[in-house]
Amino acid sequence: MATDLHGPVSARSHDTAVRVEGLTRSFDGRAVVDGLDLTLRAGEFTALLGRSGCGKSTLLRVLAGLDRDITGTVLVPKRRAVAFQAPRLMPWKRVWRNVLLGLPDKPERAVAERALEEVGLGERAGAWPKTLSGGEAQRASLARALVREPDLLLLDEPFGALDALTRIKAQQLVAELWQRRGCAVLLVTHDVDEALLLADRALVMRDGGIAYETPVDLDRPRTVGSPEFAALRSRLLTELGVEEDAAPAEAA
């Protein structure tokens, strides 16, 4: 059963954004998430790594409230937003309407425009989604998340489909937005370098639980070349079962 953290006041500690205890999610009798425990602090940026099929998206969907067929305790903030790998814009609605889609009290266009400006898309508010580039569509999707003013931002491989340069820009944008907004972020990524560039903490999911976690205690802005970065990288790759020499920079 899922419970909102904002519900019973006693459940909420001010510095905790997410508390998950003993979470299990099974498909056809197979537990993909199996007794998972997880705590995210308010304002913390956490990266979630793990091999394909280990259950990362399943966990994110549960935290987003999109999947309630679970056992265990899930405490999350009421205000939360998700952005997926594919931007999922409705093609028959202009960009600004996509940004406001599903919001309860029908905000004005100006609200969407402000969020679009934050992601550098202010001038495309009236455009049709199919006229946006991949990176622009992804930024529109981020604007849609931001307009919800989330305390928890869930990102499921949001940069996966972008070319290398657009991806770096999108990473910088997310870092800026996070610093400005101060929300907790949970970023699912396959890219160890991306995790280490952005996160305060990196988690590795395996066998249905969080098998390894490490603080990412590096000064910002970060560079891939430092010895501390390399040491963390190497450890995470080992946890992911990847031989470092065999690992291309982009995919773990």
Binding region for ligand ATP (CB under 6 A): 27, 32, 50, 52-58
Q: Which is nearer to Mg ion, 57 or 166 (CB)?
A: 57
**Per CB under 5 A, which of residues 36..65 are in contact with Mg ion?**
57
Tokens of 61: 């969907």
Q: Which is nearer to Mg ion, 87 or 112 (CB)?
A: 87
CB of residue 49 to ligand ATP, shortest distance in Å: 9
CB of residue 160 to ligand ATP, shortest distance in Å: 9
Q: Closest CB to Mg ion belongs to which residue?
A: 57
User: By rule CB under 5 A, what count of residues binds Mg ion?
Assistant: 1
From the list ligand ATP, Mg ion, none, partner contacted by residue 139 (C-beta under 5 to 8 A by kind): none
From the list ligand ATP, Mg ion, none, partner contacted by residue 102 (C-beta under 5 to 8 A by kind): none
Tokens of 71: 């056992």
Q: Which is nearer to ligand ATP, 151 or 156 (CB)?
A: 156
Q: Which is nearer to ligand ATP, 50 or 72 (CB)?
A: 50
Q: Which is nearer to ligand ATP, 143 or 162 (CB)?
A: 162
CB of residue 77 to ligand ATP, shortest distance in Å: 22
CB of residue 149 to ligand ATP, shortest distance in Å: 26
Applying CB under 5 A, the residues found at the interface with Mg ion are 57
